Amino acid sequence: MPDERESPGGDGWARPVRLIVGALLLMLYFAALGRPPLLEPDEGRYTEIPREMLARHDFVTPHLDGVLYFEKPPLYYWFNALSIRLFGINEFSSRFWSAAFGLLGLGLAYLLGRRCGGRAVGEWSALTLATSLLYLALSHLAIIDMTLTFFFSLTMTCFWLAWEATGGWKERLLWYGMFLGAALTVLSKGLMGIALPGAIAFLTILLTSGWAVLKRVPWVSGTLLFLAVALPWHVLAQIRNPDFFSIYIVREHFLRYLTPVSDRQEPFWFFLPVVALGLLPWSGLLLGVPSLLGGLPLRRALRERRAVVFLVCWAGFLILFFSASQSKLIPYVLPAFPPLAVLAAMVLLGQGAPTLLWRRLERAGIILGCLLVLVLGAALAAAGLGRVPAFDPSGRLHLLLLALGILTVLASLLAGAAWLVNASSTARAYSLFIAGALLFAAIWAAAPQIAVGRSSKAFVPYLQAHLRPGDRLFSFNYYPQTLPVYLHRLMDVADFQGELAFGISKLPRQVREDRFPDAAQFKKIWDSGQRVYLVTDHESLPRMKADGLDRATVLEEQRTLLLLTNRPEGQ
């Protein structure tokens, strides 16, 4: 189904338009990457672990707050440790790899889209993915999921390009790219890196009767490459830590998926609205995906529209797989977004055999999406105007947010109008591109204020100025994971274990009672006369009083957090 029509900018303006779009994407992904403080808890965790790796000179056994932490494999930690070494400990270095892999993932979307539908589909696949709300948002957060998505996409893209290749060294290189991508996906998020790509490939082959492709895969040398990359860390981690297998494999893979052990249960349909909202402003195009089958009988469509079948299997299997899990978080579904972007681009350019019904459905979906973008833009503009107390109780003006919110509203109106009057596909596509970019820019402009209640950075200047040798730093019934990052030190945690429970259980009893005491043990430290600085949230104050920890002076206060001490300065 290759189609070279409607590349961004048309023929005469193609090069300058591509340069402008490329510059805009670089700005969108990197310009304000370090602006908001790190958010609790994930950005703190995924920065603190590589910080501790560098401090310990141990890149095999992950530690969080000084205790063993086996929830995830180490690839993202290694990347973040490298950026910390290069750029120091700051928000930009923590988020650098998410933005970098997000941008590199656009290249994979281009290659995949170009092979599935031609150059124009490749270009619009990249631009659709680039301005999808969830993909953009997670490209700006220091969490594992964008790195995982890049290597998962590398695996699946190499698989498809190798299948469609015509032999020779290029095909063989693509097969090795598939095995390498799978190994790096395993090092990003565990066994899903081999199980899920294998299931998607098998399902595609089954539906399209493409069994002959299996004879072309270099199984022996590819498997050796996979093992050479993925296996060494797992072996070293098990040798150094006898409990590694039971925690990392049994609990974090099987029990987390099959049981509610992680306490992250959501309804089976949870990811459907996540996809619909996360792909804004492009999600309405997915209503036209059935038209890509060309109106053919099912058996013939499976054979002749193999690319569409592959993309649907990739996205659909992942969404169903994670929907069946007992542990659901919004970022889990991100690896389904690259194939969804390619499908959306194919629909956008009218590939397949769109009937009047499908075109109306697409248009209705896009207009509904534009209305949602308009509502979000209006809400952000109102917040910038100081009319949303939950955003900023002071009611002050946030001029940049106000301007971007208004521009988002105008862009959504323009996009809706372009689809209503059935403008050219280039005009309609660029109107959505601009609306998506402006919506995220407005959200990111709001991020520093949103972070006020989700980061402990505000306490850092006071603590840096007042902490003295011999003082203790604790949190109570809460673990603020960004604080150790900013202070470049471990902190002690009272009356709380959470995800640290396994690591705490492996500490010697004396160390455990000193660094991670229960309420009764902590009361002895609090009443000892030694100066203790304490971070907790407002909800824990009644619990502190009930546990006899009522001699507390409030030093600083945020929307959700408090900094307390048992001995103010001068006492």
Q: Render pLDDT for 549-559 as a digit per residue (tens, 0 to 9).
A: 888 899 999 88
Structural contact between residues 334 and 135, judged by C-beta atoms closer than 8 angstroms: yes
Domain ranges in the chain?
Answer: 14-31+70-354, 365-451, 457-565
Of 57-61, 75-79, 466-470, 481-485, the one with minimum mean pLDDT is 466-470
User: What pLDDT does 12 receive?
Assistant: 52
Contacts of 229 (CB under 8 A, 6+ apart): 180, 183, 184, 187
Cα gap 180→194, rounded to integer Å? 11
For residue 439, count other CB atoms closer than 10 A to its CB: 28
Phi/psi at 326 (5° precision) = -85, 0
- SS3 for 482? coil
Poorest-confidence range of 20-24, 117-121, 261-265, 429-433?
261-265
Alpha helices in 32-143 (DSSP H): 42-56, 75-87, 91-117, 119-130, 133-138
Do residues 361 and 274 lie in contact, with contact meaning Cβ atoms separated by under 8 Å? no
H or E element, residue 402:
helix 399-420
Residue 189 confidence class, pLDDT cut points 50, 70, 90: very high
- Give mean pLDDT, residues 341-357: 86
pLDDT of 5: 46
Give the per-residue pLDDT at 390.
85
Is the pLDDT reported for residue 105 higher than 90?
Answer: yes
Q: Are strands 492-494 and 553-557 parallel, antiparallel or unpaired?
A: unpaired
Q: Percent of the chain scored above 90 by pLDDT?
A: 73
Report, as an integer, the average pLDDT of 281-307: 86
**pTM for the predicted model, two decimal places:** 0.94
**CA pair distance 7, 119, nearest whole angstrom:** 7
Strand-pair category, 532-537 with 472-476: parallel
State the average pLDDT over residues 93-111. 97
**CA count, 13 A, side-chain hemisphere, 239:** 7
How far apart CA 450 and CA 455 sit, in angstroms, is 9
Mean pLDDT for the chain? 91
* Residues 8, 127: Cα–Cα separation, whole Å: 9
How far is C-alpha 560 from the geometric centre of its chain's CA atoms? 24
Return the closest-CA partner of residue 92 out of 40, 131, 36, 130: 36
Tell the residue number behind the tokens 């991100």, with chain if given: 334
Q: Which residues contact 376 (CB under 8 A, 6 or more apart)?
A: 408, 439, 442, 443
Q: What is the pLDDT of residue 2?
A: 44
Beta bridge partners of 400: none
pLDDT at 3 > cutoff 50: no
Can you give the pLDDT at residue 426? 83
pLDDT value of residue 6: 52
- At 293 the pLDDT is 85
For residue range 16-72, what is the model confidence (pLDDT) as tens digits? Answer: 878 888 889 999 999 889 989 999 999 999 999 999 999 999 999 999 999 999 999
